[in-house]
Amino acid sequence: DTGVSQDPRHKITKRGQNVTFRCDPISEHNRLYWYRQTLGQGPEFLTYFQNEAQLEKSRLLSDRFSAERPKGSFSTLEIQRTEQGDSAMYLCASRGTGVNEQFFGPGTRLTVL
Amino acid sequence: AQSVTQLGSHVSVSEGALVLLRCNYSSSVPPYLFWYVQYPNQGLQLLLKYTSAATLVKGINGFEAEFKKSETSFHLTKPSAHMSDAAEYFCAVSPQAAGNKLTFGGGTRVLVKP
């Protein structure tokens, strides 16, 4: 069990640039979740996939955010035209069928200058 | 709709003393409840979960929590704090239905004094 992995672990970018993060879930897990955590706060739900279908998106996910899971395995989260308010830790989690817990990756910390 | 309130953003305990972290939830449907721990610059690790079986749940590292429906609470306890327990703790709720997205509380940072 290699766990959930995320890449990169840290990203520093300038305002206005686009960034893309990758999440590789535990291999047999069909559900994948993205959360955002700002400093001193609990994680907030962004979106989730069941296999390749994106089944729910939070209102936090503005038009500048897009997530994909093209083959039902890894997922990408892209932020276009980054703003300083996008600075946060982006967490990915996965869950298998019949299992009630989500397994979290180490997160990608984004800093927008 | 679901929400979680964690009372106390910071808790300081002496090594060997009782750890008590409070969590109250609001849910319009039967919930699942979770406690996660987060060490600096790391993801979340599950401590324990309530999934409608036993109301007293035991987790890893000596932690336990009790689900009290009448009080809408799921407080986390550990009888004797260890230095390694210094971390941030998050209570979370999810619906039992499909999707199961987690709604987290604001977190409680635990400081353990020698």
- Summarize pLDDT for A67-113 with one digit per residue, the tens: 999 988 999 999 999 999 999 999 999 998 877 889 999 999 999 99
Contact (Cβ atoms closer than 8 angstroms) between residue A66 and residue A78:
yes
Under 8 Å between Cβ of B91 and B34: yes
Percent of all residues in chain B with a pLDDT value above 90, rounded to a whole number: 79
Q: Which residue of A has its CA nearest to B6?
A: A42
- What φ, ψ does residue A91 adopt, rounded to 5°? -110, 140
Question: Rounded distance, CA A34 to CA A92, Å?
Answer: 5
Q: Which of residues A61 and B25 earns the better pLDDT score? A: B25
Is residue A63 classed as helix, strand or coil in its secondary structure? coil
Chain B residues lying within 8 Å of A56, measured CB to CB: 99, 101
Express each pLDDT in B42-54 by its tens digit. 889 999 999 877 8
Q: Calculate mean pLDDT across residues B17-42.
A: 92
In this predicted structure, what is the pLDDT of residue A1? 55
Q: What average pLDDT does range B100-108 have in this prediction?
A: 93
**Cross-chain CB nearest to A101 (options B49, B99, B105):** B49
Q: B92: closest CA among B31, B11, B41, B42?
A: B31
Q: Do A44 and B51 touch (CB under 8 A)?
A: no
- Measured CA to CA, the distance from residue B3 to residue B18 in angstroms comes to 27
pLDDT tens figures, A42-78: 999 999 999 999 999 998 888 999 999 998 899 999 9
pLDDT of residue B48: 95
Average pLDDT over residues B81-102: 89
- Which of B10, B37, B91, B102 to mutate against chain A (most A CBs within 10 Å)? B102
